[in-house]
Amino acid sequence: MTSLLNQPLSVAGVILPNRVFLAPMSGVSDLPFRQRAAAAGAGVVVSEMVASAELCNHHCESRKRMERGALQTHVVQLAGREAHWMGEAAKIAEGEGADIIDINMGCPAKKVTGGYSGSALMRDLDHALTLIEATVNAVKVPVTLKMRLGWDENSINAPELARRAVDAGVQMITVHGRTRNQFYEGHADWDAIAAVRAAIKVPLVANGDVGSTADAQEIMRRSGADAVMIGRASYGRPWLAGQIVEELRGGTGRTAPADLGDYVLGHYQAMLEHYGEKTGVRHARKHLGWYMERHAPHVPAAIKKALMTSVNAQEVSNILADIFTGLSPVCGARKLKDAA
C-alpha cells in the first residue's frame, strides 16, 4: 500500500524515517515509553513537556524528562512564558544532544495555562512570538511548534500563529484539531487544520483522535498535512505508531509484541531503572492500568487493586506475570474471558 506516511520527512535537514509520530504527553512519553515507540517504528518520538525555567534552575525532574537514552532522533519539547528562560532552556537541550527543539503552545491543562504557558499563549500572539524568536535565535538545531486551533471557537488563530512562527524561523508546525476550551471533548476537527496548511509551506503535522491506519489516512486527506501525530490512542500500546507504518507498507502490522507478558514486564522494569524503585512503582501504575484496560479487561477487581496499590516492585512483577504471560495483544482479552 503506497502512502506518503511511509516516506521520510526532512525537518530542516533532520531526516525522519516516516511520518507517523508519537506526541509529547506529560506523565506518559517518558524515556521508557519513547524508546518502545521508537523501537516499534514511530517516525519520531517527542519528550514530555519540559518547563524551561525549571530546567534552567537544575530541577532533577526536568533533566530526567529530556533524557535521550539510545534514541536515534531526540526531540525535546519546551514550555514557558518568558523569552529569556525559553532561550536558555533551548541552549541546555541542544547541549544535551537534542536534534530538534519543539515549543509547547497547545497544552490545555489548567496548571499550565494558569501560568500563561501552553495554549494560553494563543491568547497573545505578540507575546508568543517573543518566545518563539528567543528559542529560534538561541540554537542551531531546528525549532518546531505544537499548538491547538485557538483558545476557543471565537478565536481560531492557528493559521496566523503558524504563519508568524514560520516567518520567525520555525521549521515544522503541529496542530491538534481542537481549541483549548474543548480540552479533549468531542472529536478533533481535522478539516479545520487545512487552514493552517494554506498558511505555511513548511511541514505540517495533524494531531487529534488518530487511533488507526484508517484514521491516519483520513486526517491526512482532510487536513492536507505532511505527517500525523498519535497521542492518547497509544496508551497501553506504545507500538501503535509503528504498527500503522507497517500496515501502510503492506505488512501484517505485527509490531505488537508476540508475548505481551514479557513486553509489559520489560516496560515495568525499564521504569524502575529510569526512576528508581520507589518512584518507578508509582509512575508505572497508569501504564499498567492502560495495559489491563486494553488487553486484560476481565481481571478480577481484587487483583487490579493489588496491582495498582502495591509498593513492592517484586510483588507487582509477580502479579503482572500471572495476568499477562502467554497472552497476546490481539487475543488476550478473549482468553481471559474464556478462562473466567
Active site residues: 107
Could you tell me the CA-to-CA distances from 89 to 62, 99, 117, 273 in Å, in that order?
10, 14, 15, 26
Q: What is the DSSP string of 115-158?
A: TT-GGGGGG-HHHHHHHHHHHHHH-SS-EEEEEES-SSTT---H
Q: Please, are residues 177 and 166 in contact by the beta-carbon 8 Å criterion?
A: no
Q: Please, are residues 158 and 177 in contact by the beta-carbon 8 Å criterion?
A: no
Q: How far apart are CA 33 and CA 276, in angstroms?
A: 16
Cell 521520510: give the residue: 8
Q: Please, are residues 199 and 175 in contact by the beta-carbon 8 Å criterion?
A: no
